[in-house]
Chains A and B, each alone.
Chain A
Amino acid sequence: MNDDTIAAISTPLGEGAIGIVRLSGEEAVKIANRIFTGSDLTKVDSHTIHYGKIVDPKTDEMIEEVMISLMRAPKTFTREDVVEINCHGGLASVNRLLELVLERGARLAEPGEFTKRAFLNGRIDLSQAEAVMDLIRAKTDKAMDVAIKQLDGKLSKLIQRLRQNLIETVAHVEVNIDYPEYDDVEEMTKGVLLEKTTDVYQEIEKLLLMAKQGKILREGISTAIIGRPNVGKSSLLNTLVQENKAIVTDIPGTTRDIIEEYVNIRGVPLRLIDTAGIRETEDIVEKIGVERSRQALKEADLILLVLNNNETLSDQDRQLFELVNDLELIVLINKTDLADKLARNEVEQLANGHPIVSTSLIEERGIDELEEAITSLFFGGQLESADISYVSNVRHIQLLKQAMSALDEAKSAIDLGMPLDLIQIDVTRAWSILGEIVGDTVHDSLIDQLFSQFCLGK
């Protein structure tokens, strides 16, 4: 049963600490290799460490610079191939790495599973079996506890409803199969099936979006203000801070002597970050080079790029646009109280669809519009009421993603003209994955559904 490869975050989560994503199993090396640019991990020696970058193969996006320790079986903790990805990022980037390896074929480890494997593979002494069992029990109970706490009633109800939709659909397919002659039951068509699957798919998509929003609400939107000297960056910062009676925390920066501010924009916390010392930065490229600044800026959820309305566009401006074009970006044209010298057309072109807001920080104009733009960027304009539930548990989020991809497979099977009874396999899988979130995986409920939904029999 240890044929699959498991992954988990293996350091206590926390700001600042080195985060480790650990993989164990036959595919550990292959999976890590799929997202790693650097040495070919499948070829390197055991018990070696490699520096390189993690890249999302889907988008080619560079995620993180990491150190990878690679240890081949049997001289490892689990006696399986083990890969540890060490990264410097905080919670967010470790989670991102975990997500990536899960997408590439690893499975989220059960509580205590590394230890369990170590034991089953003979790595841990038999005399410690008792301790291992206790650990599994304790970790499971704790994980359950956390999971339950993080799954409030509303969310659980919502997921139950989605499951109910799916199972009714599946039961419908099943009844057509097991009772082909009952004309009382209308035939499930691919059209209807597609519609139902798509509905649930979209609901899950929404849940995941809200999960992202929930995370933002908890952690703040990390924001970097960039622009050439004297365009008004400091003024913007001060305005935001004053305007919003900011929750200012004085945390001395470590790289430079700066202050990290939190401001509250219409209920959304903005965390003005100092990424590699580039918060409110004018000379970033010169300082750390193009590639690294791109990386550094990626840490931010939001970039505010400030331009001066009173000057013509410079090459430096253009270069900044290039740096941030694929990020969440708002362009500010400041000093609109002064004469227009900026070529608006070109700015619009460079902004490439990102919102543009005109401000005069001196006259305090355009601030509302900016705040509007920020909230609508992250919450589609309307911030859900405060008592809304967010999915916050990593496991839950992972399961939701799996359910979505099962539904996606069902949808493409429909496109391929596969028969309903095969399409159904993936729909049922989505249903049972969702069941893991709410702790209900009993297969028999399909049969219960069948007979409560339809009138069958002799």
Chain B
Amino acid sequence: MVYDAGHYDVIVIGSGHAGVEAANASAKRGANTLMLTLNLDMIAYMPCNPSIGGPAKGVVVREVDALGGLMGQVIDKTYIQMRMLNTRKGPAVRALRAQADKPLYIAEMKHQLEKLDHLTIRQAMVEKLIVEDGVCKGVITETGAAYYAKSVVITTGTFMRGTVNIGEISYQSGPNNQRPSVKLSENLEELGFKLVRFKTGTPPRIHSKSIDYSKTEIQPGDDQPGHFSYETKDKIIDQIPCWLTHTNEVTHKIIDDNLSLSSMYSGQIKGAGPRYCPSIEDKVVRFHDKPRHQIFLEPEGRETEEVYVQGLSTSLPESIQEKMVRSIAGLEKAEIMRSGYAIEYDTVVPTQLWPTLEVKNIKGLYTAGQINGTSGYEEAAGQGLIAGINAAASALNIEELVLDRSQGYIGVLIDDLVTKGTSEPYRLLTSRAEYRLLLRHDNADIRLTEIGYRLGLIDEERYQKFQTKLTLIKEEQERLQKQTIKPSDELNVALEKVNESHLKEPVKALDLMRRPEIDYSFITQFAPADKEIPNDVIEQIEIQAKYSGYIEKSLQQVDRMKKMEEKNIPENIDYDAISGLKEEAKLRLKEVRPLSVGQASRISGVNPADISILLVYIEQGKIATVS
């Protein structure tokens, strides 16, 4: 029996990493928001590795934070280990990564959401969308509750018709034996969605007491742990180390001998898996001559003895998993607590979405997270945030947000998805970003805080703090630009010490800082600041001085890109009527329906001549469009 259970502005289905950010953003924008999820004890649950961040992904966490999202603050409160990666490389690729305390992360996230105004949280299984005349008006749960809303966001992750596979065992299930979401998936199909099946996997978890750590190598956190959120204050906490060990020939032989029993190799699994997260079976098969593979042992939290065996994702039968694990140094007596498994699930072909993450054919309906073909907590969070912002926008008739490829990794991610689609679970990599020098983790606040403030996601106090930082950067840059450093014996001795050549002529302080071995602290010995300059300000000044040439080049490219991005394509354009276009280009353009010429130019199969023709066609205007 269906009953009217209430009316909202926005409904978010799911409370994974996408769902929580969507709900948070929507509520913060003032939309009356309802979040429905299968299990309230599993909010922002991490079904796989207990870590957040890393190259590209870590930048996303900071972007989410700069737009008022939760992930950064919550991980800062609950991490057990923090490391800055790529410290010896350039500033564009430095990245933070945290080991998470999984149970604590869930508790903290749940509490953050519970404290929000405008947000209602409810445990429920959604089975059906209410769609009338191509407009989504609400959802119906398995208990017959009909919730109505102006917009709906689906973030149901790997639950969609999920199937868990362990050896020849296979059963319908969401991750970690949660209930799968079958009816909703079927409903999407009925509504005309194109769905494809993807797969991913996870390694076994083992009991810490059964590990002989003496045979492994310690991987401690940083002495001075950084943090993700621009709001978090520096603090030192007790960190918990990870441990490193390796597979060996014996491990590989066990895998080789039992390959046919793996769900992935027996043909039981058909979905496309991610190349960047291969199972151990894949690694052994594809890189047969590698004598060993790294295995990181990562604690799942402070108050648990469960340890995640990173590097050993598998769908071999349980009995083989045990043999395999025990062949590894330090794990000879390992006790498996949960088996590794592979999961297959439905995803929505993402070219069915606008860059706002709204579904092209159903107004008011948005999808975000793993359901869009991505993989990873951060990728989910970034999309959830954008979908939440835009669902609220459409419900309340306020400003939408689409980030372009120069504004954030989130922009790159979504543009890739909706423009190119994906043939495997999509993961962010720094190399996917053509302007990665601009998309640094240190400047996510500079890139996005203004937007966050304008959209009502960043409060006044934080915004003022941010303004102060900007002013400080500018003033200090100007000071260094004006102040001259003269050659002196003292200076030249100091230069020698850092392997730099002597100074012969006076130079501006800022120019001296462009030398590779000279940093801000060196400069202030000879041109001291008149006030205290915080580290994050110093960082900006150094980076902008040292890499100005490259930054300048990137900015020019961005300018060029933006011009193409500003050329809008009318929504009702009739590609078939454009005679000069190649057939393949027509097909792809009709499928993606790009909003701008810039977006069109990124579609594979659309070449520069097609773009020229398109430009001419648009310019001549209004003839031969579909009415």
- Listed in ascending order, the chain A residues whose CB lies under 8 Å from chain B are 1, 3-4, 110-113, 116, 119-120, 126, 129-130, 132-134, 136-137, 140, 174, 176-184, 416-422, 425, 442-444, 446-447, 450-451, 455-458
B72, CB-defined interface residue at 8 Å: no
Q: Can you list 6 pairs linking A and B with CB atoms under 8 Å apart?
A: A1-B597, A119-B616, A129-B620, A177-B55, A422-B437, A458-B311
With A1-B563, A3-B559, A110-B612 given, can you name 5 additional A-B contacts, CB distance below 8 Å?
A133-B613, A181-B294, A425-B437, A446-B431, A458-B203
- Residues from chain B with a CB closer than 8 A to the CB of A181 are 85, 294, 296
Flag if A442 contacts B604 (CB, 8 Å). yes
Closest residue of chain A to B311 (Cβ to Cβ) is A458
Neighbour of B89 across the interface among A120, A134, A177, A444, CB < 8 A = A177
B135, CB-defined interface residue at 8 Å: no
Q: How many residues of B contact A (CB 8 A)?
A: 62
- Residues from chain B with a CB closer than 8 A to the CB of A3 are 559-560, 563
Flag if A1 contacts B283 (CB, 8 Å). no
Shortest beta-carbon distance from A172 to chain B in Å: 12
How far does the alpha carbon of A443 sit from the alpha carbon of B567 in the complex, in Å? 23
Closest residue of chain B to A113 (Cβ to Cβ) is B612
Q: Interface centre among B55, B92, B429, B567, by most A CB within 10 Å?
A: B429
- Residues from chain A with a CB closer than 8 A to the CB of B313 are 457-458
Contact A120-B616, Cβ < 8 Å, known A418-B90, A455-B290: yes
The 4 closest A-B pairs by CB, nearest first: A419-B90, A129-B620, A417-B516, A140-B609
Shortest beta-carbon distance from B96 to chain A in Å: 12
- Residues from chain A with a CB closer than 8 A to the CB of B559 are 3
Q: Interface centre among B93, B278, B310, B579, by most A CB within 10 Å?
A: B93
How far does the alpha carbon of A444 sit from the alpha carbon of B608 in the complex, in Å? 17
Closest residue of chain B to A420 (Cβ to Cβ) is B89
Write the B428-450 contact mask toward A (1 if CB under 8 angstroms, else 0). 01111010110000000000000
- Residues from chain A with a CB closer than 8 A to the CB of B517 are 417
Closest residue of chain A to B619 (Cβ to Cβ) is A120
Flag if A177 contacts B619 (CB, 8 Å). no
Shortest beta-carbon distance from B158 to chain A in Å: 15
Mark out the residues of chain B between 313 and 351 whose CB falls within 8 Å of any chain A CB in the assembled complex: 313
Flag if A134 contacts B620 (CB, 8 Å). no
Flag if A116 contacts B616 (CB, 8 Å). yes
- Residues from chain A with a CB closer than 8 A to the CB of B228 are none
Write the B571-584 contact mask toward A (1 if CB under 8 angstroms, else 0). 00000001110000
Flag if A458 contacts B48 (CB, 8 Å). yes
Flag if B619 contacts A136 (CB, 8 Å). no
How far does the alpha carbon of A113 sit from the alpha carbon of B430 in the complex, in Å? 34
- Residues from chain B with a CB closer than 8 A to the CB of A418 are 90, 516, 547, 550
Contact A178-B580, Cβ < 8 Å, known A133-B613, A422-B547, A425-B550: no
Shortest beta-carbon distance from B502 to chain A in Å: 17
Shortest beta-carbon distance from B201 to chain A in Å: 9
Q: Interface centre among A1, A420, A442, by most B CB within 10 Å?
A: A1
Contact A129-B431, Cβ < 8 Å, known A419-B90, A451-B276, A458-B277: no
How far does the alpha carbon of A1 sit from the alpha carbon of B431 in the complex, in Å? 25
Neighbour of B613 across the interface among A137, A420, A456, CB < 8 A = A137
B145, CB-defined interface residue at 8 Å: no
Shortest beta-carbon distance from B577 to chain A in Å: 11
How far does the alpha carbon of A419 sit from the alpha carbon of B560 in the complex, in Å? 26
How far does the alpha carbon of A389 sit from the alpha carbon of B283 in the complex, in Å? 41
Flag if A180 contacts B85 (CB, 8 Å). yes
Mark out the residues of chain B between 251 and 288 whose CB falls within 8 Å of any chain A CB in the assembled complex: 274-278, 283, 286-287
How far does the alpha carbon of A183 sit from the alpha carbon of B432 in the complex, in Å? 23
- Residues from chain A with a CB closer than 8 A to the CB of B207 are none
How far does the alpha carbon of A62 sit from the alpha carbon of B55 in the complex, in Å? 52
- Listed in ascending order, the chain B residues whose CB lies under 8 Å from chain A are 48-49, 55-56, 85-86, 89-93, 203, 274-278, 283, 286-287, 290, 292-294, 296, 310-313, 420, 429-432, 434, 436-437, 516-517, 547, 550, 553, 559-560, 563-564, 567, 578-580, 597, 604, 608-609, 612-613, 615-617, 619-621
Flag if B580 contacts A134 (CB, 8 Å). yes
Flag if A447 contacts B579 (CB, 8 Å). no
- Residues from chain A with a CB closer than 8 A to the CB of B621 are 126
Q: Interface centre among B56, B296, B550, by most A CB within 10 Å?
A: B550
Flag if A184 contacts B293 (CB, 8 Å). yes
Closest residue of chain B to A425 (Cβ to Cβ) is B550
Neighbour of B619 across the interface among A119, A180, A444, CB < 8 A = A119
Contact A455-B90, Cβ < 8 Å, known A136-B580, A137-B609, A178-B430: no
How far does the alpha carbon of A416 sit from the alpha carbon of B278 in the complex, in Å? 38
Shortest beta-carbon distance from B612 to chain A in Å: 5
Q: Interface centre among A112, A133, A137, A451, by most B CB within 10 Å?
A: A133
Closest residue of chain A to B515 (Cβ to Cβ) is A417
Contact A180-B55, Cβ < 8 Å, known A455-B283, A456-B276: yes
- Residues from chain A with a CB closer than 8 A to the CB of B563 are 1, 3
Flag if B430 contacts A133 (CB, 8 Å). no
How far does the alpha carbon of A177 sit from the alpha carbon of B441 in the complex, in Å? 14
Flag if B287 contacts A455 (CB, 8 Å). yes
Shortest beta-carbon distance from A436 to chain B in Å: 10
Closest residue of chain A to B550 (Cβ to Cβ) is A422
Flag if A178 contacts B56 (CB, 8 Å). yes
- Residues from chain A with a CB closer than 8 A to the CB of B437 are 422, 425
Contact A177-B550, Cβ < 8 Å, known A133-B580, A136-B580, A458-B310: no
Flag if B294 contacts A184 (CB, 8 Å). yes
Contact A132-B310, Cβ < 8 Å, known A184-B294, A421-B89, A458-B277: no
Flag if B617 contacts A129 (CB, 8 Å). yes
Shortest beta-carbon distance from A387 to chain B in Å: 32
How far does the alpha carbon of A29 sit from the alpha carbon of B55 in the complex, in Å? 45
Shortest beta-carbon distance from B273 to chain A in Å: 10
Shortest beta-carbon distance from B294 to chain A in Å: 6
Shortest beta-carbon distance from B178 to chain A in Å: 21
- Residues from chain B with a CB closer than 8 A to the CB of A447 are 429, 431-432
Shortest beta-carbon distance from A449 to chain B in Å: 10
- Residues from chain A with a CB closer than 8 A to the CB of B436 are 421
Flag if B430 contacts A455 (CB, 8 Å). no
Flag if A457 contacts B619 (CB, 8 Å). no
- Residues from chain B with a CB closer than 8 A to the CB of A129 are 616-617, 619-620
- Residues from chain B with a CB closer than 8 A to the CB of A140 are 609, 612
- Residues from chain A with a CB closer than 8 A to the CB of B203 are 458
- Residues from chain B with a CB closer than 8 A to the CB of A116 are 612, 615-616
- Residues from chain B with a CB closer than 8 A to the CB of A446 are 431
Closest residue of chain A to B423 (Cβ to Cβ) is A444
Flag if B86 contacts A180 (CB, 8 Å). yes
Flag if B429 contacts A450 (CB, 8 Å). yes
